[in-house]
Amino acid sequence: MPKIKHVLYICSGNTCRSPFAEAISKWLQKTKYTNEIKELNFDSAGIYHYYEQPQEGTLKYLKSKGVEMDDFQAKDVDDELLIKQDLILGFEEKYHVQKLKRKFKQLKDLDEKVFLLLDFAGEIDNLEIEDPFYLEENEYNKVLKRIEDGIIKSIEKIIKINNSEEN
């Protein structure tokens, strides 16, 4: 895999999972992996447009970690956004990965750069991460914790890819 500089997280509406993934990645970039991924750009988008702001449960979980998202605006996936990405990570095979590939089939390199987050992270089982939108707070937070763990593993994989001798 070529060197990764641009990572995009996608979900259905860009209000729960993908903005959380973007915010946690940027937070890890500032706190845990300051030198290793300082050149990476993280972004997020949704396949559909539902709301302008992240869901309250997402904001609350992030705030508990000291992460603010005051300037976040939800956005839709489009050709221009996808073209500039080196890695695109979704949370559900049918509703994110496959839908994205069908909707943007004119973009020839999507197959090489679109993955499920947990698959890219090296997980083997239970790769789908459900939409927490209607879940109770405890269950919502469990979903976000799975995303956070997957992001840490994915960032560690990106560091290895970017430090490989091929790049």
Q: Which domains does the chain have, with CATH numbers?
A: 6-163 (3.40.50.2300)
- For residue 165, the model assigns a pLDDT of 66
Q: Across all residues in the chain, what is the average pLDDT?
A: 93
Mean pLDDT of 149-153: 98
pTM of the predicted structure, to 2 decimals: 0.95
Band of residue 1 on the pLDDT scale cut at 50, 70, 90: confident
Nearest 10 degrees: Cα torsion 150, 161, 101, 40: 80
The predicted pLDDT at position 49 comes to 75
Half-sphere exposure of 66 (CA within 13 A, CB side): 4
Answer yes or no: are the C-beta atoms of 24 and 151 closer than 8 Å: yes
pLDDT at residue 166 in the model: 63
Q: What pLDDT, on the 0 to 100 scale, is given for residue 29? A: 96
